Chain A
Amino acid sequence: DTGVSQDPRHKITKRGQNVTFRCDPISEHNRLYWYRQTLGQGPEFLTYFQNEAQLEKSRLLSDRFSAERPKGSFSTLEIQRTEQGDSAMYLCASSVVPLVPRGDGYTFGSGTRLTVV
């Protein structure tokens, strides 16, 4: 297991189409996070899972966005009826819980760059 994997790396879609992204976390990590990053900004939190349970959703996550983590392994993020404002880098990260004294750092994937035209 070499890290967090995201697929696809790039996605270009027409406005109004649905898109789905996949994230495969580090296998022993039970927490999985989705972030969105626009140009010149830091990543903004969208949602996170502990195992298969979705524990928190940001107000940034509109009704058009849905995330799942079936069986507590990989996760998918779906955007329905995409808008130009959805164009961004979508980042996935994973970490271990419970927190351990040696650290609870996040490991990020390479991201999926979404362009809505």
Chain B
Amino acid sequence: KQEVTQIPAALSVPEGENLVLNCSFTDSAIYNLQWFRQDPGKGLTSLLLIQSSQREQTSGRLNASLDKSSGRSTLYIAASQPGDSATYLCAVRSYSGNTPLVFGKGTRLSVIA
């Protein structure tokens, strides 16, 4: 059974810092990995999707990497801003393609102005 762990559970940084959020998964036979952002009381917004054959994806100040063999992904946020404050969720889809996304519990990020 796939399990996804996110570390740290919460993080508080001053504005302008670069930061890294970590995600690990127990079964390396994944099809893809997706990072989401969730604002309090809201739904999920997809940030980046990495296919199993890819090593990284970039979107603006965000960069996600994938090391499938070690079961790890990182989300790098450059030059953090108060508007980045949210919960960041990592989710993996196993290789069978018919299994649903499995989520971690998320990292709650606060960027202090």
Contact = CB atoms under 8 A, between A and B. Distances in A.
Interface of A: 6, 33, 35, 40-45, 48, 55-56, 89, 91, 93, 99, 101, 103-111, 113
Interface of B is mostly: strand
Contact of B103 (A43, A99, A105, A107): A43
B30 to A, nearest CB: 12
Interface stretch (B37-45, B65-73, B74-82): B37-45
A108 B36 contact: yes
9 contacts: A42-B4, A43-B91, A44-B103, A103-B49, A105-B32, A105-B46, A109-B43, A111-B43, A113-B41
A97 B59 CA distance: 25
B104 A99 contact: no
Nearest to A101: B51
Contacts of B101: 33, 43, 45, 93, 106
Interface residues of B, number: 25
A45 B100 contact: yes
Nearest to A102: B51
B32 A103 contact: yes
B106 A106 contact: no
A43 B41 contact: no
A110 B105 contact: no
**Which among A35, A104, A105, A110 has the greatest number of chain B C-beta atoms within 10 A?**
A105
Contacts of B45: 108
B105 A45 contact: no
A41 B105 contact: yes
Interface string B81-100: 00000000101010001101
B102 interface: yes
Contacts of B24: none
Given A43-B91, A43-B103, 14 more contacts: A33-B101, A42-B103, A42-B106, A43-B89, A48-B100, A89-B41, A91-B43, A93-B101, A103-B49, A104-B93, A105-B49, A108-B43, A108-B44, A108-B46
